[in-house]
Amino acid sequence: MPSGLASVPQAQLPSRYQDVAKIALRPRQTRAYVLALVTWHLLLTSALLSVFSLSLLTPVNMLIGCLSFGLGILPLAVARKRAFSTISRQPPALAATRASQLSATLSDPQIYALAVRYAYGFVVLAASYCILLTSKTGGWGPQIWVESHGSVYLNERFLFLLGHAAVLGAAYAIVFRSHPSLATAALPDFSSSAASDSSEPIESLKDRAVTAVKSRLLPSAAMGFIAAMASTATYAFLRVRIWRFCIMLVGARSMARRLLIPSFRVDFNFAEVGLRTTLWSMAAVCGTEIAIALLDVYLSHPLSPVCKYSKHPNRLLIDGISDPTIFFSSHAYSELARLSATDKEARVAIYRDVGLDGAAWIKIRNACLALIDEQKSFVSRRGVSVSPAAAPAGTGSTTVAAAKPPAGSSTSASTSQQTVWDMLAAGQVAPQTPSSAAATTATQPRTVAPTTAAQPTAATGSKGSSLAVLLSISSNLIRVMWRLLPADAKHVVFGPRRQQYWSEASVAMQACSIAGRDAARVSWAVAALRELLCHSLDEDPYGSVQKDIRRVLESLADLSLEMRKFGLELEQKAVGADERLAKLERDASNVGRSGAVASPSQDDLKKEKEDKKTGGGDDKDVSGGKGCEVDVAQKELVQAWRTSGASSVDMGTIAAIRGIVDTFGRFDLHLGNELEVKLSQCLGH
C-alpha cells in the first residue's frame, strides 16, 4: 500500500480518485524536494571553490543553501506542481516550422509572467551566492567601502550578478520551460514504454529519475556556461556606456549618485567576476532543472493500485479515468491497464459489477473508446483544431461525440491570414469574430480582440495586438537586414542546415505533437481493452464484455490505419526534406568553390539518376570531399516517433488487435467484410 495512504483508515478515504491520488503522491513529492535540496546545496558549495568537505558542512552554508532553495527554487517547483491540477485539455498541434513555434511562444502573454517568475527565483539564488562569497572572501556585498572617498558605495559586482541572474532566469524560462510550446512543456512526461505490453514490469522510479537527470544535466550546464560568457563579454563592452548614461540621468553632482551609481575606483576584476558568474550560472541552471526533472518523474511515475483499498474500487477507478484533469486521469488509466493485465480479482470485479448505476465494463469501455476515437480524429485532421462552438471543452474521456467534430466545423490550416501591416495598408480593421484559442496559438498570429467584448477581454486583446505589432516590426527588420547581407555571408550565417532547421516544416515536431499527443493515456486505454476482452473468455460470468468485440476492433483498426497513414505521409515528407537539403548543400558547395552556382552538366545529371536507381550516393554528399549525411530529417522522425510515444500507440494497437483476433478467432464473430479488410491491413495479411 502506498505510504501516503497507510495512515488513512479505509472508511476515511475520499471518494474521488483525485483526492486519493494526492494523498498517495505526498511522500514522493517530499522525496523529490529533499533530493532537489541536497543537489542544490552540493552545487552551491561547489561553486564557492573552497574545500569541499568543509564548505559542505558549514552551518552558514547549510542555512543559506536551505533559505535560497526555499525562496528561489521551491516556489518555482510548487507553481509547476499546482499547474498539473488545472490542465484539462491536451495542447494543440505545434506550428509547422520552428520559427513559427518561437514566434507563437514569444507572442503568448503568459511567457512574460513565467519569465518574471523565474527571473525572481534566479535573483534570489544569486543573492544567496553573494552572501556566501561575502562571508568567505568579501567584496560581493550590496555595498562596498571606498577608501579614497571615505564612504560606502554600491558594489558593481553585486549589481552585475543580480542583473545577470534576472536575464538568465528569463532566458531559462523561454528555452527550457516553454519549448516547444508553453502548453506542451506544462505537463510532465508520462512514460508509456510498457503500455504496449502491460504484463512487463514498469521501468523503476530510480531508473527514470537517473535517466531524466542525465539527459538534462549537460544542456543545463551548457546554457549556464554560454549565458555567463555572453553576459560578461557584453558587459565588458557596454560597461562605460551604461554607467555614463546612468550618470547623465542621475546627475554628476547629484546626492543620489552615491546611492544609485557604484564607484569605479574599486577594481572590478573581470577575470574573477567572469569565473564566479560562470560557476554560479551553471549551478543555478542545473539545480533548477534537476529539481523540476525530479518533481516531474516522481509525480508522473505510475502509482501502486490505490483503488483496491477503497470500499468501492471500481467506482473510484471509473471516477479517475473520467476525471477532466489530464494528470490524474493519466494515473487512473495507468492503474486500469496494470490491474487489467496482472490482477485477476480486479478483472472479475469489473465483470461482475452490473449495478443499478450501470455496468463497470460499459463505463470503462465508453471512456477508453472515447479517448481512442479522439486520438484518431485528431490524427485524421492532422492536428487542425475544432472551433469551440462545434466541440465543447473537455478531455474526450467521457463521451464519444465530443471527439467527433461536426461537418464544416474544422478550421482549414491553409487559410491565409493577413498581418497587421496588410490590414493597415488596406484600411481595414481587426476581425470582429473571435477565433479558437487553440487554432490561434498553432496556426496564426494573435489578432485584436472584438470591440464588443467586455473590459477584461478588450485589455487582453490590446496586449495581444501590441505583441503582434512588435513581432511584425521585428520580423520586418530581420528581413531587411537579411536582404542587405552579401550572398557569401548568407551561406555562412544561415547555411542549408540552419535554413532547414528554422524555415522548413519539421516532420519530427509533427510526429510529436500529432501522433504522440496523449500517447500514454491512449496506450493504457488500448492495453486495458485488450486485457479485459481477452480474459473475459474465461472470467466473465455474464458474457457482456464479448458483445462489444466488433465495436472495440473497429475503433482499434481505425486508429491503427490512421497512424500508419500519417506515418507514411511523414516519412515521404522527411525523404523530400533530405533531398532538398542535399541539393542546397551541393549548391552551397558550388558557390563556395566558384563564387556562383554552377549548372550541372548532362553527365552529372545522368550519374545522379543512376545513383538514385542503384541506391548509391545516398549516404554522403559531394561537398568539399567530406561525408555528409542526407537523412537528417528521417533520423529525427524515427527518434521523435519513438520518444513521443507514437510508437507505443502504434505497436500497442496492433498487438491489441492481434490478441483479440487470436483469442476469439475460432468463433464466428460476424465482423463484416469491411472490418475484416481493415483488420487484414492492420495485421499485414
φ, ψ for residue 655, nearest 5 deg: -65, -35
Please tell me the predicted confidence (pLDDT) of residue 616: 44
**Top-confidence residue, 600 or 480:** 480
pLDDT one-digit tens code per residue, 627-663: 445 688 888 899 989 988 899 999 999 999 999 998 8
Cα separations (Å) of 540 from 321, 343, 353? 22, 14, 11
Please answer whether residues 276 and 44 qualify as being in contact, where contact means their C-beta atoms are separated by less than 8 angstroms: no
Grade residue 193 by pLDDT with cuts at 50, 70 and 90.
Answer: low
Of the listed ranges 35-49, 230-244, 454-468, 548-562, the one predicted with least confidence = 454-468
Query: Is a pLDDT exceeding 70 seen at residue 277?
Result: yes
C-alpha to C-alpha distance for 29 and 22, rounded to whole angstroms = 10
For 156-210, give the DSSP string: HHHHHHHHHHHHHHHHHHHHTSSSS-HHHHTS-----TTGGGTTSPPPPHHHHHH
State the alpha helices, DSSP H only, in 270-392: 270-300, 313-321, 326-342, 344-352, 360-380
Cell numbers that stand for 533 in this block? 476482452
φ, ψ for residue 346, nearest 5 deg: -65, -40
Q: Per DSSP, what are the bridge partners of residue 153? A: 144
**Top-confidence residue, 13 or 17:** 17
Please answer whether residues 181 and 104 qualify as being in contact, where contact means their C-beta atoms are separated by less than 8 angstroms: yes
587 lies in a domain? no
**CB hemisphere CA count around 7 (13 angstroms):** 6
**CB hemisphere CA count around 89 (13 angstroms):** 16
Please tell me the predicted confidence (pLDDT) of residue 312: 87
Please answer whether residues 101 and 94 qualify as being in contact, where contact means their C-beta atoms are separated by less than 8 angstroms: yes
Count: domains in the chain: 3
pLDDT one-digit tens code per residue, 586-621: 776 775 555 544 444 445 545 554 554 444 444 333
Please tell me the predicted confidence (pLDDT) of residue 106: 84
Q: Which domain holds residue 476?
A: 443-484
C-alpha to C-alpha distance for 174 and 179, rounded to whole angstroms = 7
Query: Is a pLDDT exceeding 60 seen at residue 197?
Result: no
The answer on 338 and 469 residing in a single domain is no
pLDDT one-digit tens code per residue, 549-583: 899 999 999 999 999 999 999 999 989 888 888 88
69 lies in a domain? yes
Please tell me the predicted confidence (pLDDT) of residue 593: 56
**Top-confidence residue, 621 or 360:** 360
Query: Is a pLDDT exceeding 60 seen at residue 459?
Result: no
Cβ-in-10-Å burial (0-12, 13-18, 19+) of 412 comes to exposed
Query: Is a pLDDT exceeding 70 seen at residue 336?
Result: yes
Please tell me the predicted confidence (pLDDT) of residue 356: 61
354 lies in a domain? yes
Please tell me the predicted confidence (pLDDT) of residue 52: 58
Please answer whether residues 403 and 396 qualify as being in contact, where contact means their C-beta atoms are separated by less than 8 angstroms: yes
Of the listed ranges 201-215, 441-455, 670-684, the one predicted with least confidence = 441-455
For 474-497, give the DSSP string: HHHHHHHHHHHS-HHHHHHHS-HH
The answer on 451 and 557 residing in a single domain is no
Please tell me the predicted confidence (pLDDT) of residue 504: 78
Strands 358-359 and 354-355: antiparallel
Share of the chain above pLDDT 90, in %: 38
Of the listed ranges 26-35, 188-197, 248-257, 576-585, the one predicted with least confidence = 188-197
pLDDT one-digit tens code per residue, 660-680: 998 887 777 778 889 889 888
Is-cis flag, bond preceding 75, omega within 30?
Answer: no
C-alpha to C-alpha distance for 298 and 208, rounded to whole angstroms = 9
pLDDT one-digit tens code per residue, 399-417: 333 334 443 333 334 334 4
Strands 151-154 and 143-146: antiparallel
Query: Is a pLDDT exceeding 50 seen at residue 125?
Result: yes
The answer on 286 and 179 residing in a single domain is yes
Q: Which of 270, 300, 330 is the last residue of a domain?
A: 300
Please tell me the predicted confidence (pLDDT) of residue 2: 55
- Range 590-593, long-range pairs (CB < 8 A, 24+ positions): 591/487, 591/488, 591/491, 592/491, 592/624
Please answer whether residues 332 and 321 qualify as being in contact, where contact means their C-beta atoms are separated by less than 8 angstroms: yes
The answer on 570 and 479 residing in a single domain is no
Going along 11-169, which residue ranges are E strands? 143-146, 151-154
Please tell me the predicted confidence (pLDDT) of residue 364: 94
Residue environment code for 54-69, b if the CB has 16+ CB neighbours within 10 A, otherwise e: ebbebeebeebbeebb
Please tell me the predicted confidence (pLDDT) of residue 149: 65
Of the listed ranges 81-90, 113-122, 251-260, 390-399, the one predicted with least confidence = 390-399
Q: Which of 260, 281, 300 is the last residue of a domain?
A: 300
Please tell me the predicted confidence (pLDDT) of residue 14: 84
The answer on 325 and 461 residing in a single domain is no
Grade residue 448 by pLDDT with cuts at 50, 70 and 90.
Answer: very low
Of the listed ranges 368-377, 466-475, 563-572, the one predicted with least confidence = 466-475
Q: Which of 300, 332, 349 is the last residue of a domain?
A: 300
C-alpha to C-alpha distance for 558 and 400, rounded to whole angstroms = 14
Cell numbers that stand for 83 in this block? 499547474
Cα separations (Å) of 39 from 73, 173, 188? 12, 20, 20
C-alpha to C-alpha distance for 673 and 679, rounded to whole angstroms = 10
Q: Read off the pLDDT of each residue in 51-55 and give the average, rounded to a whole number.
A: 62
C-alpha to C-alpha distance for 41 and 51, rounded to whole angstroms = 14
With both helix axes pointing from N to C terminus, report the angle between 270-300 and 205-250 in degrees, rounded to the nearest 10.
140
Of the listed ranges 167-181, 221-235, 236-250, 396-410, the one predicted with least confidence = 396-410
Please tell me the predicted confidence (pLDDT) of residue 318: 93
Please tell me the predicted confidence (pLDDT) of residue 478: 74
Please answer whether residues 511 and 503 qualify as being in contact, where contact means their C-beta atoms are separated by less than 8 angstroms: no
Please answer whether residues 525 and 400 qualify as being in contact, where contact means their C-beta atoms are separated by less than 8 angstroms: no
Please tell me the predicted confidence (pLDDT) of residue 399: 39
The answer on 125 and 27 residing in a single domain is yes
Please tell me the predicted confidence (pLDDT) of residue 1: 44
Cα separations (Å) of 24 from 5, 33, 158, 428? 6, 16, 44, 57
C-alpha to C-alpha distance for 18 and 14, rounded to whole angstroms = 9
pTM of the model: 0.79
Cα separations (Å) of 165 from 176, 253, 278, 418, 555? 16, 31, 11, 39, 52
Please tell me the predicted confidence (pLDDT) of residue 629: 52
pLDDT one-digit tens code per residue, 483-516: 777 766 666 666 777 777 777 788 888 899 899 8
- 518-524-528-529 Cα dihedral, nearest 10 degrees: 30
Query: Is a pLDDT exceeding 90 seen at residue 171?
Result: yes
The answer on 475 and 533 residing in a single domain is no
**CB hemisphere CA count around 676 (13 angstroms):** 7
Q: Per DSSP, what are the bridge partners of residue 355? A: 358
**Top-confidence residue, 266 or 71:** 71
Which amino acid is present at 639?
Q
Q: Read off the pLDDT of each residue in 372-392 and give the average, rounded to a whole number.
A: 77
The answer on 24 and 128 residing in a single domain is yes
Average pLDDT, the chain: 79
CB atoms within 10 A of CB 359: 18
Which amino acid is present at 201?
P
**Top-confidence residue, 171 or 181:** 171
Which residue carries 500514454 as its cell?
Answer: 520
Please answer whether residues 359 and 326 qualify as being in contact, where contact means their C-beta atoms are separated by less than 8 angstroms: no
206 lies in a domain? yes
C-alpha to C-alpha distance for 570 and 512, rounded to whole angstroms = 11
The answer on 145 and 69 residing in a single domain is yes
Q: Which residues neighbour 537 within 8 Å (Cβ) at sequence distance 6 or greater?
A: 546, 663, 664
C-alpha to C-alpha distance for 137 and 140, rounded to whole angstroms = 8
Residue environment code for 445-466, b if the CB has 16+ CB neighbours within 10 A, otherwise e: bbbbbeeeeeeeeeeebeebbe
C-alpha to C-alpha distance for 401 and 392, rounded to whole angstroms = 10
395 lies in a domain? no
The answer on 180 and 105 residing in a single domain is yes
247 lies in a domain? yes
Highest mean predicted confidence (pLDDT) among 10-24, 290-304, 403-417, 504-518: 290-304
C-alpha to C-alpha distance for 302 and 25, rounded to whole angstroms = 10
Q: Which of 435, 366, 362, 436 is nearest to 401 (CA)?
A: 366
C-alpha to C-alpha distance for 380 and 374, rounded to whole angstroms = 10
621 lies in a domain? no
Please tell me the predicted confidence (pLDDT) of residue 684: 80
Grade residue 9 by pLDDT with cuts at 50, 70 and 90.
Answer: confident
Grade residue 56 by pLDDT with cuts at 50, 70 and 90.
Answer: confident
Grade residue 476 by pLDDT with cuts at 50, 70 and 90.
Answer: confident
55 lies in a domain? yes
C-alpha to C-alpha distance for 326 and 478, rounded to whole angstroms = 40
The answer on 233 and 263 residing in a single domain is yes
DSSP state, 400?
A: S
Of the listed ranges 313-327, 377-391, 464-478, 616-630, the one predicted with least confidence = 616-630
The answer on 138 and 224 residing in a single domain is yes
Of the listed ranges 26-40, 64-78, 163-177, 492-506, the one predicted with least confidence = 492-506
Which residue carries 500500500 as its cell?
Answer: 1
For 304-315, give the DSSP string: P--GGGSSSHHH
Residue positions counted in the chain: 685
Query: Is a pLDDT exceeding 50 seen at residue 146?
Result: yes
